Amino acid sequence: MKHSTFTFKALASAILATTALILGACDSEKQNIRFGSGNKGGLYDQFATSFTAKFNSEHQDLQIQAKNTAGSSANIRLMEEGFIDLGIVQADILKDYLMRNRMGSAIAAVAGLYAESVQIVVSADSDIKTVADLQGHKVSVGEEESGVLRNAEIILEAYGISFEKIQTENLNFKDAATALKEGRIDAFFCTAGIPTPSISELATNKKVRILSLDAADMNRITSLHPELTLSEIPAGTYAGQDSTVQTLGAKAVLVASLLLDSATVTKITADVFAVGTQQTAGIPAAFHPGAAAFYKTKNINVDVAAPLKGHGPIPSTGD
């Protein structure tokens, strides 16, 4: 009996090992592309999830794996460190990073996706009427390594408010909306395309307001940070929103690592172009050679990123 038990276990182990080898061989034929999106409840996550599903259904030799991250700054770091191949970043955060990083970067543009708006959300019955009123309150300023965090810092500084003058929380969009609903915070910053799913859901369950910025304040901020632009959130974007909100915004940009081969990036760019979200104007980075090759077929000229020093573009097949 012991002998037969041993034989069964040995046979089962052999079958499992053989199956793993076969599956591994099948998977090795596919190129895995790691796509850094953003936190759950935001449009980065929504775009990455829907685009990944569509792309994977149409390309059997290429498979994108969408991965949630903290957002723009995290995606920049993860791409530079080789942990992701694609990512979405705010144009203002990307420009700021590239201007500080003069030694060269692995990050290249693929396409502008959509406009994002800085949204400062408070309860409708709150005594917070302006940004200046945030002082002393408990405010979520976005996750660490997010573009939201940098936008919150810039806007608050323009009103003479440092993070030390508020009670900061570092929550993602979904958790921030829940915390405001439950009264655990007084306000939260959110930079995202509109309507933002987590704010839409919040507004259907609780009366909220989105703060407008004064024209003079916005002009002062954009003069110091020209990568930010004026933005409007039309009345009716969210339940109970009766008037248009004046705020700041930035463009969401799809970027790719220069280590990702050009043929793959050309296919990705073509699929982005097909869904009608592609933009090439106002992008603060040179374009990946694969993206530039696609745009050339559409008679669109873009600046092309130079290869990284020491090696040319190579396929990226990490998990």
Q: Return the number of other C-beta atoms located less than 10 Å from residue 308's C-beta.
A: 16
CA distances to 99, 119, 174, 192, 210 from 125, rounded to whole Å, are 42, 17, 21, 24, 12
Q: Return the number of other C-beta atoms located less than 10 Å from residue 272's C-beta.
A: 22
132 with 218, same domain?
yes
166 with 127, same domain?
yes
Inform me whether the pLDDT recorded for 131 exceeds 70. Answer: yes
169 with 86, same domain?
no
Inform me whether the pLDDT recorded for 9 exceeds 70. Answer: no
Question: Among 31-40, 237-246, 288-297, whose mean pLDDT is lowest?
Answer: 31-40
Does residue 124 belong to any structural domain of this protein?
yes
48 with 165, same domain?
no
151 with 228, same domain?
yes
55 with 127, same domain?
no
151 with 164, same domain?
yes
Inform me whether the pLDDT recorded for 45 exceeds 50. Answer: yes
The pLDDT value recorded for residue 142 is 95
131 with 233, same domain?
yes
Q: What is the residue-averaged pLDDT of the chain?
A: 88
Does residue 16 belong to any structural domain of this protein?
no
- DSSP H helical ranges for 107-261: 147-158, 173-181, 197-205, 215-224
- Domain of 205? 115-251
CATH number of the domain at 232, please. Answer: 3.40.190.10
pTM of the model: 0.81
DSSP code at position 150: H
Does residue 50 belong to any structural domain of this protein?
yes
148 with 210, same domain?
yes
Residue-wise pLDDT for 169-188, tens only, equals 999 999 999 999 999 999 99
CB burial of 217-228 (b: ≥16 within 10 Å; e: otherwise) equals: bbeebeeebebb
If one counts the domains in the chain, the total is 2
237 with 156, same domain?
yes
Using 50, 70 and 90 to split pLDDT, how confident is the model at 12?
very low
The pLDDT value recorded for residue 310 is 62
Inform me whether the pLDDT recorded for 304 exceeds 60. Answer: yes
Residue type at position 191: T
Inform me whether the pLDDT recorded for 79 exceeds 80. Answer: yes
